[in-house]
């Protein structure tokens, strides 16, 4: 079971990494490593005058940056699609 659980875990991690990479791209961050992405995300937040998130993980930082994307933009729709959020909630 250990072997299969590791394979499953690695598959899930790869999917999350791909998803997070796309979300980073949407908010205008291109990075080769998680450390670089965190540094760029914190810098972007400082540009938005949002401070105090230095201890947060990358997922949280990206979520905060996504809140600055215009709600009616194509980028916002792409974020919702990546997160598998049903767009029908907004158009009922």
pLDDT digits (tens, 9 = 90+) for 49-86: 988 998 999 999 999 998 887 766 788 778 777 776 55
Share of the chain above pLDDT 90, in %: 23
pLDDT above 60 (res 41): yes
pTM for the structure as a whole: 0.65
Residue 52's alpha-carbon distances to 37, 47, 62, in angstroms, are: 17, 13, 14
Q: What is the largest CA-CA distance in the chain?
A: 48
More confident residue, 34 or 11: 34
Domain ranges of the chain: 2-90
CA dist., res. 32 & res. 84, Å (int)? 25
């Amino acid at each position: 079971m250990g072997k299969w659980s590791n394979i499953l875990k690695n598959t899930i991690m790869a999917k999350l990494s791909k998803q997070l990479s796309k979300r980073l791209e949407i908010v205008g961050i291109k990075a080769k490593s998680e450390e670089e992405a965190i540094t760029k995300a914190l810098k972007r937040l400082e540009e938005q005058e949002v401070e105090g998130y230095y201890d947060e993980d990358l997922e949280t930082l990206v979520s905060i940056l996504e809140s600055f994307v215009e709600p009616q933009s194509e980028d916002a729709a792409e974020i919702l699609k990546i997160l598998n959020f049903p767009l029908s909630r907004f158009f009922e």
